[in-house]
Structure 1
Amino acid sequence: MSLDPTVVLALLCLAVALQPALFAAMNLILLRKPEPEPGGSGLVSILIPARNEAGTIAGTVRAALASTGTPVEVLVGDDHSTDDTAAIVSGLAAEDPRLRLVPVPSLPEGWTGKNAACAHLAAQAQGAHLLFIDADVTLAPEAAARLAAHAARTGADLVSAVPRQRMDSLGERLTVPMINFLLVSYLPVAAMRASLQPSLGAACGQLILAARAAYAATGGHAGIRTSLHDGMRLPRLFRAHGRRTDLVAGRDLARCHMYRGFREAWAGFSKNAHEGMATPRALPVWTLLLLLGQIVPWLLVAAGLSGLIAPAALVLAATALALSLATRAAITLAVREPWPTILLHPATVLVALAIQWNVLLRRERAGAASWKGRTYPVGRA
């Protein structure tokens, strides 16, 4: 006797929803806030590439200078800003000798802007650890000390975390939560820590601490000079050179307001998609995983409540739906994102897939990605 096709589909949905639920349960235990080291871990150089960041740079710099638990220096790389970024930093530097404004040279051929700025800042830094943060990241006072202590304690040459994300608009709430959802639900953190496999390398480009010696040995940002996705490429570069990388919980280490509104979020995630999910091999697989585990259960439950599918299929689909929502709820609450975004989860998944497919389908046509007023060829990283 053959099974009802809707029962088979619902069972498949349940199996696909179970995997991220199990990963999230384990990862939320493993991803903890790092503990500080009494006495500090030596000088940490906080490096901030900035291009037209006048609206946020003062708060970012002041928070970095307020670091406690370890000595810090703060270097801001002015990447040819046309606003008041440089003037603001210069004014703050006059009040605190730990702060330096570092003009970034003209963009070399074959480099992307952020990588060139970060590499130049690293060459000017003096700390044993280099903490790269985006210009819209506000560090907690002990963040630098905790990250450096974790690196020293675990032997990791690169440590990263996802800051707590600020989301003011509906467009941000429909896009930004996918960062933590994908990371916590689909990255096997235990396997990552037990292996140096480059494919298991992951980081958040908003907040990356690297050991200075390892950064120099691997080539650092020079080794990923063409990349637009340092959060993926830099840890994989380190692992390819036999260097250990790690992730920790970032909700108490920093805050970030990465995008303002849906249009900016769409552009930002599209920029990263070129080197992430939006490849001919990866995206169909991700589409199946996300649709079956996160979207189709909703449709089956609706069909079941309307009497269109077998009761057994409805039970299986409802279980898959409960797992999906429970996974998203657990992650959302753990990383302290706005709880109403839980109810937006199906739409968030569909928007994420729309971004990825849009990038993939226009890749050959457009052949380039744009960010911060610059245009880069696609697929050369």
Structure 2
Amino acid sequence: MLALALLALALALLPALLAASNLTLLRTPEPEAGRTLVSILIPARNEAANIAATVRAALASAGVPVEVLVGDDHSTDGTAALVREIAAGDPRLRLVPVPSLPEGWTGKNHACAHLAAKARGEHLLFIDADVRLEPDAAAALAAHARRTGSALVSGVPRQRMETLGERLTVPMINFLLAGYLPVALMRASLRPALGAACGQLVLVARDAYAAAGGHGAIRWSLHDGVHLPRLLRRSGHRTDLVAGYALATCRMYAGFAEAWAGFSKNAHEGMATPRALPVWTLLLFGGQVLPWLLVLAGLFGLVPGTALAVALAALIVSLATRAAITLIAHEPMATIPLHPAAVLVALAIQWNVLLRRERAGAAAWKGRRYTIGAP
């Protein structure tokens, strides 16, 4: 039992130490006034519930000139009509019909590539249709790109979570980035494997994007947050992450069913591989769930005193790490005690996708089905 408790403590300390470093390094960039145009590009498919607020927030950008392009990807609701109505009063906004989806492309990548081809800005700021930009966001991201020489800058918006299902799933985004990505090493190296982004909020330099092949080079992917920064790094360009909670807000999913489906969509290009998932299971279960189980067993006298003390230390480290990330990312405080359950849900999603992939070989999103994996 002591060996098991020591393992739990070691696995809890790993993300704790990385988070202590990363939360210091990941800062909100300061905006600077600029004259170069930033193109805010919004792919949209049946987003009538979101698109008006998203577009108005983008048009309220300050500090840099912007144009806003909305790619209507064959919506069957009122998305296009809402955009046209706003565009009638603001020439900076354009509605861009997206052509039919070609074979071998995923929908978002096709829409983003089409929008990029129509954009005029030196920087392209891709945002999801449920992301609300703060007025300084475009200026801050563009300024950080100039200061650091980064071809891509991304951050995780402040996540709105209004249901228990969302609070059991969405907080894992920041926990995994802050607790397991070595940001200092990422900034010191161009290794593609260290590239990371949040697909909700990605600013790229137009020239570097075009030279690397843009979304067309990852046309098969459902997880541009993983593959776009790696693409740019393979082409010799720096990419970076910043704290995004003060730059934008987003409500990714409305409830547990949407969250399960959404995270399942991306899983096979993240953790859910036969080689990676056993390692991630050891890291996450061992460091974030096992301490709770050992302490619970100790309450029934099943864990001796020394091992129980070590397990309690591991639990405190785990909870403190989650609390620090929650506070700094401005996530709901109620997600902190839910942390071990959130880890179990995340692992359940990944294992379900890995096991189901062998049977189905496809992923579905927004009414479309895609073959899994790169060509």
SS at match of 2:301: coil
Gaps of 5+ in 1: 1-5
What residue in structure 2 maps to residue 3 of structure 1?
A: none
Correspondence 1:233 to 2:227: yes
Q: CA shift at 1:219, angstroms?
A: 0.6
**Taking structure 1 as the reference length, what is the TM-score of the superposition?**
0.98
Which of 14, 21, 46 in structure 2 is aligned with 1:19?
14
Deviation at 1:41, TM superposition (A): 5.1
**In structure 1, what residue type is equivalent to 2:339?**
H
Runs of 4+ in 1 over 4 A off after TM superposition: none
The Cα of 1:212 is off from its aligned counterpart by 0.4
Measure the CA separation in 1 of the matches of 2:20 and 2:13: 11
Q: Provide the residue aligned with 1:272 in structure 2.
A: 266
Letter in 2 for 1:139: L
- What do the CA deviations read for 1:28-55 (whole angstroms, capped 9, x no partner)? 0000000112x31511000000000000
TM-score (norm 2): 0.99
Q: Which runs of 5+ in 2 are unaligned?
A: none
Matched AA of 1:54: A
User: Retained in 2: the 8 A contact 1:41–1:152?
Assistant: no
Q: How many residues align?
A: 375
Partner of 2:5: 10
* Separation in structure 2 between the aligned mates of residue 53 and residue 101 of structure 1, nearest angstrom: 13
1-structure distance, mates of 2:318, 2:200 = 27
Aligned to 2:27: 32
Q: Deviations over 1:284-328 (max 9, x none)?
A: 000011111000111111122222121110111000000000000
**Distance in 2 (alpha carbons) for counterparts of 1:373 and 1:55:** 17
Counterparts of residues 102-181 of structure 1 (less than 5 Å): 102-181=96-175
* Contact kept in structure 2, 1:41 and 1:149, CA below 8 Å: no
Q: Secondary structure at the match of 2:253?
A: coil
In the other structure, the counterpart of 1:198 is 192
On the 8 A contact 2:44/2:73 being kept in 1, the answer is yes
Contact 2:220 2:373 in 1 (8 A): no
The aligned residue for residue 243 of structure 2 is 249
Counterpart contact for 2:134–2:248, Cα < 8 Å? yes
Q: Cα deviation per residue 1:53-96 (whole Å; 9 max; x = unaligned)?
A: 00000000000000001000000000000001000001110000
Amino acid at match of 1:7: L
Q: State the alpha-carbon separation in 2 of the partners of residues 161 and 262 from structure 1.
A: 24
The letter for the 1-side match of 2:9 is: L
Give the Cα separation in 1 of the matches to 2:231 and 2:2. 44
Q: CA separation in 1, counterparts of 2:270 and 2:297?
A: 34
Q: Secondary structure at the match of 1:157?
A: strand
Amino acid aligned to 1:197:
R
1:248 is displaced (CA, Å) by: 0.2
Q: Which residue of 1 aligns with 2:302?
A: 308
Using the TM superposition, give the Cα deviation of residue 207 of structure 1 relative to its aligned residue in structure 2, in angstroms: 0.2
Q: Contact 1:41–1:148 (CA<8 Å) still a contact in 2?
A: no
Residue identity opposite 1:317 in structure 2: A
Aligned equivalents of 1:59, 1:206: Cα separation in 2: 15
Offset, 1:221: 0.4
Distance in 2 of aligned mates of 1:111 and 1:34: 34
Task: Find the counterpart in structure 2 of residue 83 from structure 1.
Answer: 77
Cα distance in 2, alignment partners of residues 84 and 104 from structure 1: 16
Q: Secondary structure at the match of 2:210?
A: helix
Aligned amino acid, residue 361 of structure 1: L
Please state whether the residue corresponding to 1:199 is helix, strand or coil: helix
1:380 CA displacement = 2.7
Q: What's the % identity of the aligned pairs?
A: 76
Listed one character per residue, the Cα deviations across residues 107-155 of structure 1 (whole Å, up to 9, x for unaligned) are 0111000000000000000000000000000000000000000000000
Secondary structure of the equivalent of 2:96? strand
Paired with 1:174 and 1:161, the residues of 2 have a C-alpha distance of 21
Matches within 5 A, 1:280-291: 280-291=274-285
The equivalent position to 2:346 in structure 1, one of 341, 352, 359, is: 352
